[in-house]
Structure 1
Amino acid sequence: MAAVNVADLSILLVEPSATQLKLIQRSLADAGVNHVEGLSSGQEALDVMERFPPDLVVSAMYLPDMTATELVHAMRQHDTLQAVPFMLISSETHFNALDPIRQAGVVAILPKPFGQEELRRALRSTMEFIDPQELELSQVDLDDLRVLVVDDSSTARGHIKRVLSNLGMSRISTAQNGREAADMFANSSFDLIVTDLNMPEMDGLQLVQYVRQRLGDAAVPILMVTSEQDATRLASVEQSGVSAICDKPFEPQNIKEILARVLQQ
């Protein structure tokens, strides 16, 4: 468990509904959070964050002046805000609406209404992201581990890279799609591949097949991080030789357990 205390978290809550704002503030207080500032618009939030960066931003999906996706993308373009964790609370269920914000790298997506245990779990993920415990493996030196992160979203690449760096990995290369990753892997040696599934030119499934079949490398661990919900497509990924599949957004503790398993194998 991370050393940071939930009571010490400074949270910026962006919610246009005054009623929902009070309800969420009450739920956060019940979870032990002492410092919550409520705002109603995305631009207000950006203005406040530039002066006083919070530990966590919690936002509704639809704001008066922008969407939560636009807000998180604006944060990721800002030097002092690009690493601030972002949590979405929304009644939105459509895949096409939620997938862009999953790709942007959020610590959690909570439904409206959410349960108190769901909120506590999301806050634990936030604390693990802010103050992570390095991954400890008996047979693997993380400093020497050569990692390739593959995602067509620069925001997602940055998020995954930050999580892996927090776990103690420093030799991290990135690729924008499977084709670029395949060229890099064919000419360099990597100890771990972390890849998205849906990408242009060559997707994650084709990349796994290229590594396993074309190059004949059955040993390198490949972790698929995806928001894909199609069961048939996921079954094809599982059968392709991928080492593990992880949801977007992923919990730091979950990815630590997956990495510990696949790397020590």
Structure 2
Amino acid sequence: MTNISSRFESTRLLLVEPSALQAKIIQRECEEIGLTHVHTVGSAAEALETMRVERPDVVLSALYLPDLPGTELVAAMRTDLRLEDVAFILISSETRPQALDPVRQAGLCGILPKPFNASQLAKAISRTLDLLGTRRDLDNDIDLEELRVLLVDDSPNARKFIRRILSNLGLQHFIEANNGREAMALLADTMVDLIVTDYNMPEMDGREFVEYVRTRSWQQAVPILMVTSESDAGRLAAVEEAGVSGICDKPLEPEMLLDLLSNMLQRESD
């Protein structure tokens, strides 16, 4: 735990937990992994006020708060220029997609299921710091700075979050679309090197868009990465059959994202 502890020495964490007992348990686990800069509040309003005074590196929040749900807290953060890129980890035993999808779309970095131990906490925060940290290079010879990326997602916050992650890898040129139909129009006269798309979107969803690219676009061989909170096995199988190059869950797993991008782009360059 020594290396992990030293990594967290300067990390500022804001814990949003209305239960005094749960807050004490989590604070003890934070101390165990070397997280000493921890500020605890009990509501979304207190969290926002505290963040505007001193910006944290990571927010660790319960889903159910006395004034706002965690979904609305992260949404409020993503619309505040001072807080839009602060990492957000949700603590929840909730598993229903309808409860978790809004917070995933808002730029969630991770979910810690209840109960969790210090090791799981350390892993979640390490992944978050990796995901949003300094630039990391992919293991290939591709000049990432020259690649043109099309981001397709109906959530502006989700696009902004994914764009930040890809920027950390060295990607610089982005075009954005709200749904598959908008993306289809952009592809008609704009060449791209990589498409990153969501599944659930209005007008034209991710599966339909992938099918269009693979069967009717003049850019049929472009790599397509789907980043989605969709969990239905049948729908995901249909996307794979349509010709997606890789599928990554929301919230993103940094190592999985790196591996998928590296493999996809390397195949394209061969």
TM score, norm. by length of structure 1? 0.96
Q: Does the 8 Å contact 1:137/1:264 carry over to 2? A: no
Matched, 1:43 2:50: no
Structure-2 change in CA distance of 1:243 and 1:130 (3 Å):
closer
Q: Which residue of 2 aligns with 1:153?
A: 155
Q: Which residue of 2 aligns with 1:67?
A: 69
What are the residue-to-residue correspondences of 1:235-246 with 2, within 5 Å?
A: 235-246=237-248
Q: Out of 101, 109, 122, which is 2:103 matched to?
A: 101
Q: How far apart in 2 are the matches of 1:71 and 1:135?
A: 32
Q: Which residue of 1 aligns with 2:263?
A: 261
Q: Does the 8 Å contact 1:12/1:56 carry over to 2? A: yes
Q: Does the 8 Å contact 1:226/1:245 carry over to 2? A: yes
Q: How far apart in 2 are the matches of 1:59 and 1:211?
A: 39
SS across alignment from 2:134: coil
What are the residue-to-residue correspondences of 1:116-127 with 2, within 5 Å?
A: 116-127=118-129
Instruction: Please provide the CA RMSD for this pair.
Output: 1.6
Q: Which residue of 1 aligns with 2:188?
A: 186
Aligned-residue offset at 1:216: 5.3
Aligned-residue offset at 1:113: 0.4
Q: How far apart in 2 are the matches of 1:109 and 1:39?
A: 19
Aligned-residue offset at 1:149: 0.6
Aligned-residue offset at 1:108: 0.5
SS across alignment from 1:8: coil
Q: Does the 8 Å contact 1:85/1:129 carry over to 2? A: no
Matched, 1:196 2:194: no
TM score, norm. by length of structure 2? 0.94
Aligned-residue offset at 1:132: 3.0
Aligned-residue offset at 1:51: 1.1
Aligned-residue offset at 1:252: 2.2
Aligned-residue offset at 1:137: 4.5
Q: How far apart in 1 are the matches of 2:95 and 2:176?
A: 31
Q: How far apart in 2 are the matches of 1:126 and 1:264?
A: 26
Q: Does the 8 Å contact 2:138/2:258 carry over to 1? A: no
State the one-letter code of the partner of 2:39: E
Q: How far apart in 2 are the matches of 1:168 and 1:252?
A: 14
Deviations 1:121-180 (A, max 9, x none): 211112213423422343311111000111001110110011011111110111100000
Aligned-residue offset at 1:45: 0.6
Deviations 1:18-69 (A, max 9, x none): 0111111111221221111100000111011011000000000011110111
Percent identity between matched residues is 52
Q: How many residues align?
A: 264
Q: Which runs of 5+ in 1 are unaligned?
A: none
Q: Which residue of 2 aligns with 1:231?
A: 233
Aligned-residue offset at 1:116: 3.2
Aligned-residue offset at 1:251: 1.9
Q: How far apart in 2 are the matches of 1:216 and 1:188?
A: 10
Q: Out of 208, 212, 215, which is 1:213 matched to?
A: 215
Q: Which runs of 5+ in 2 are unaligned?
A: none
